[in-house]
Amino acid sequence: MDFVKNDFDYYRRTIEGMYQKYYNKRILIVGLALLIIAFYTFFSQEFVFLNIVLIIALAAIIGFLINQRGKFPEIYDRFLQANLPEVKIDRIEEDEYSYLAKEDDVRVNKNGVRNLPSNNKQYTMMVGFEKTFFAQQPLQIIYYDMLDLTYEEKYRLRRNGYSSMPRFLRRFSLGNLKAGIGNLFSFIFGNLFILFILFRLLRYVIAMLRSFM
């Protein structure tokens, strides 16, 4: 399929920018957390062993993210090869916060998604990131026909004004949470770790602010 190769050549820089931004944001957040913990440990000398363990863990996460960020050419080529010689057309179902690619059973987060027009006017190239809290390889590149786009039933009703749940609460609905969980063990372990880190960061920031007041 010539149009697939043309699409991948034409949009490579755009998609690489999205990919780099995705990882740079996470590297920055983890790096900031590491610096806060290191700064607190250096000046307070409290919880030294625990903080060293956290610093090592966060440094390992940064290393993993940097390593994944560098794999773009390999991952991009994998998507290209998956659509050659025959393009893979998926069926997309839209809900409030994600797109479900039915053939691969993958949910793409609506936040940050791009729908790029293909050289073949019949199809659209959707580029986004998997809607799971801990995806080892989150980038998704999916061809689909916009005319075949369907809506999840509850979302369709909400679009037409039939909803008893306020919009700000819908993000915490069971369906949306289930869509983002992915692997249950990773979800539980990862969220406990994140909550623990956030608790320590909040405590350390408050302690440092008090020391300067």
* pLDDT tens per residue across span 152-211: 888 877 766 655 555 544 554 555 555 544 544 555 555 678 888 989 999 999 888 887
Looking at residue 161, what is its pLDDT?
60
Distance CA 27, CA 31 (A): 6
Whether residue 63 is predicted with pLDDT greater than 90 in this model: the reply is: yes
Query: Which residues have a Cβ under 8 Å from the Cβ of 97 and sit 6 or more positions away?
Result: 109, 110, 111, 131, 170, 171, 176, 179
- Percentage with pLDDT > 70 across the chain: 83
Looking at residue 7, what is its pLDDT?
97
- Percentage with pLDDT > 90 across the chain: 61
Distance CA 105, CA 101 (A): 5
Looking at residue 115, what is its pLDDT?
96
Looking at residue 166, what is its pLDDT?
55
Query: Which residues have a Cβ under 8 Å from the Cβ of 41 and sit 6 or more positions away?
Result: 47, 48, 51, 52, 55
* pLDDT tens per residue across span 10-39: 999 999 999 999 999 999 999 999 999 999
User: What ranges do the domains of the chain cover?
Assistant: 2-212
